Amino acid sequence: MQWNRSNTIGLASTTCCNCEGVGLRMVYKNHTVPCGCVFRSIFRICLNRFRECNLAEGISGTVSWEFCSGSNGCRSYARKREEFMADFCLISRRALEPAEHQLFRFYFLLGADWKMCARRLKVERGALFHAIYRIERKLGRALAETEPYGLFPLDEYFGGVTRPEPVKASTPRPLQLRQRLHVPFHRAA
């Protein structure tokens, strides 16, 4: 994702004292970076969609018909809600340390309140909320900057944005010639 003022201003908190509601903060003299409030907002948007997908689990049989990228215009089947939930959990596991991931599971996924998390993890209230904000900021960045396709913005993830050139994961292998399959045919008497 390209971080500029038009991308961050709608996500920024108007009460943020670091960016003053713009979403970008100055680092050095002329270099700007996204503020932490933008990443926390991205995380909360993705978490709300995760919870919506989880509530719609009873309707998990729905399959969407997606366009594939490329010039041939082929299509494929997808289960976007299940894929989003799996991607959300996998990105959180990869981006967080084991202790942070444990807090993420308790507080965000299982819905435990802060008192139960503080007692279970044996931390004080202030340290717990600092860790929660750090997790939101870290995961918001990871969800937006995952390459080649991030989970945020959600309309691109669920809308199936097609790109003119397919993204190649590795160098293509040469095509192998298919051999004709000979199936023995027996006539029933």
Burial environment of residue 154 by CB neighbours within 10 A (0 to 12, 13 to 18, 19 or more)? middle
Domains of the chain, residue spans: 36-159
Q: What is the mean pLDDT of residues 17-44?
A: 86
pLDDT per position as a tens digit, 71-125: 666 776 777 888 888 889 999 999 999 999 999 999 998 888 999 999 999 999 9
Measured distance CA(9)–CA(13) in Å, rounded: 8
pLDDT in tens, 45-66: 999 988 888 887 666 567 767 6
